[in-house]
Structure 1
Amino acid sequence: MSENPLAAPGAWDEIAEDYDDVMSELMRPFAVHVVESAPLTGRSRVIDVATGPGVLALLAAPRVGEVVAVDFSEAMIRRLRRAVMQRGIGNVLTGVGDGQDLRYAANTFDAAFSMFGLMFFPDRGKGFAELFRVVRPGGTVVASSWAPVADSPLMTLLFEAYQAGIPGFPAPQANPNSLENPDVFELELIAAGFESVSVTPRAESFSYDSAEQMWEKLTRGSAPLQNMRRKTDAAEWAAQEKVMIDYLREHYVPGTELSTTAWIGTGRVPR
């Protein structure tokens, strides 16, 4: 079992509502790009693994025959089910499940996606192997991971604010063994059996009306930061938060666009 708290559902259950309210905005442009680029038809049956609140699943629904959306967080799935009901969507099926052990038969789907989810799996090899197993020969798999913080001016500024307000907060370190390393990403796709593998960068830019809005949009749905907040005395956190927002006020010009970068990995199941 991984010691990473983000590899367990509890951290995501805690922030499901806020994550959907604010973090989905950050994810959506990447999901739009992936859905528009994938070879989907009105008859396609697709699966979205580690769907979270269903950003990609909801975007894919009008383009395909059926979307199966799976996440290990019950709270995330409840949020998605509510959105499906409110919008009257009839072709999105939801389920709570582990992306490392999917309960679907082999060769079931025409395409599989995992946007910023598989990167947290305790055993990524199992995650990629399951995507390979459930996709039909000739089908497509797309997964994404954030690039290193140093490649993203938006995340760099945010981490500088964390360091200003939280004593001892570590500087972000690139992890060469994670999917933020495109060479590792490519090798893990190949090891799972995929062909025509590619891992390409995708940058999207965001702007905010104020430092306060930036803080709200980027931290309220952040599982790592909210986990830290819960472990900190309330008064102490309030003081730290003020310092961090003050840092953003000093270093961010409202309306300025800042980019963040993701790696988009694609592969095809051999025919």
Structure 2
Amino acid sequence: MADVDKDKLFAGSIPRFYDMWLVPLIFEPYAADLVGRLDVTSLSRVLEIAAGTGVVTRALAATLPETVDIVATDLNQAMLDHALVVGTKRPVDWRHADAMRLPFEDDSFDAVVCQFGAMFFPEKSKAFAEARRVLRQGGVFIFSVWDHIAENEFADVVTTALAAVFPEDPPRFLARTPHGYHDRQVIERDLARAGFSEPPRFDTVAARSHATSFRLPAIAYCQGTPLRNEIETRDASRLDEATEVAAASIAGRFGTGAVDGKIQAHVVIAVK
């Protein structure tokens, strides 16, 4: 299986490591930001696509009035299974669904939200068109994508470190997929092709990624994302070695205690 085919493969221990290490490291600050952008006074039904292990879902359930129905979907059943185990503050309708073929009627949601999932859609415009189709007129599609990897320090350091471990075939998952869809003109073009006639709003949001140990970001990226699939495809026996090399690189740049690095993302808002 080619690397690009494995970019969407969140299986085995990845969902657990993802939720344990990566969610607090980089996702939680943006989850609160994304949910805070919703106008709760106009909502009765909200759809989340590419919900993963449910970090945004939990924020939605904790923040939105109980009168607002929440439907959370993901293509990867293993991620949904983990989200169900973690649970939410109040009931959520969990669905196994492909963002490019949503199993919902037209004009059935007031808002569609998606945190860091759009980069994984094989056909962005098709997924965006589906989001638009299920939105009611005047409804809002809010999603976030990571900025260029150079603006996200831990991911950049890990990617550079692994190139030294596998110099003939460097693992490029982080640069290729999570940080590979950041060009505003491309995103605006894809939304226009999906039928969004008004130009979207872009907000670039910088934050800080904190970890109590320099090892945690290395474990999070190397073992809690599909980067693990890339490493194990090259040599499964070297996963621990690759993680240690990444950790050493983080320590070399940020120190051997608690570490703090820049993260940056675009939040995109499109109205039907």
- If the length of structure 1 is used for normalisation, what is the TM-score? 0.86
Aligned to 2:212: 209
Amino acid at match of 2:34: V
Q: Deviations over 1:206-263 (max 9, x none)?
A: 122332223223332121x210232243444444443333233322223342111111
Contact 2:111 2:139 in 1 (8 A): yes
Aligned to 1:179: 181
Instruction: Write the mapping of 1:59-98 to structure 2, written as runs, cut at 5 A.
Output: 59-62=59-62, 63-64=64-65, 65-84=68-87, 87=88, 89-90=90-91, 92-98=92-98
| 1:75 CA drift (Å) | 0.9
Q: Secondary structure at the match of 1:41?
A: helix
Amino acid at match of 1:69: A
Aligned to 2:10: 12
Q: Given the superposition, is the C-alpha separation of residues 165 and 56 from structure 1 closer, same or farther in structure 2, using an over 3 Å criterion?
A: same
Alignment of 1:230 with 2:229, yes or no, is: no
Q: Secondary structure at the match of 1:226?
A: helix
Aligned to 1:197: 200
Aligned partner of 2:260 among 243, 246, 257: 257
Q: Given the superposition, is the C-alpha separation of residues 244 and 166 from structure 1 closer, same or farther in structure 2, using an over 3 Å criterion?
A: farther
| 1:100 CA drift (Å) | 0.2
In 2, Cα distance between equivalents of 1:6 and 1:118: 16
Contact 2:45 2:109 in 1 (8 A): yes
Instruction: Select between 115-124 and 245-254 the one with higher mean Cα deviation.
Output: 245-254
Q: Given the superposition, is the C-alpha separation of residues 166 and 7 from structure 1 closer, same or farther in structure 2, using an over 3 Å criterion?
A: closer
Instruction: Select between 247-256 and 104-113 the one with higher mean Cα deviation.
Output: 247-256
Amino acid at match of 2:22: M
Unmatched 5+ stretches in structure 1: none
Q: Given the superposition, is the C-alpha separation of residues 182 and 258 from structure 1 closer, same or farther in structure 2, using an over 3 Å criterion?
A: same
In 1, Cα distance between equivalents of 2:82 and 2:243: 28
Q: Secondary structure at the match of 2:11?
A: helix
Q: Deviations over 1:33-52 (max 9, x none)?
A: 01101222385310000110
How many residues are matched?
Answer: 260
Amino acid at match of 2:150: A
Instruction: Select between 56-65 and 141-150 the one with higher mean Cα deviation.
Output: 56-65
RMSD over aligned CA atoms reads 2.4
Contact 1:111 1:140 in 2 (8 A): yes
Q: Deviations over 1:125-181 (max 9, x none)?
A: 110000000010011101111111112223222222222333232678689xx5311
Unmatched 5+ stretches in structure 2: none
Contact 1:119 1:179 in 2 (8 A): yes
Amino acid at match of 1:71: D
Q: Given the superposition, is the C-alpha separation of residues 23 and 196 from structure 1 closer, same or farther in structure 2, using an over 3 Å criterion?
A: same
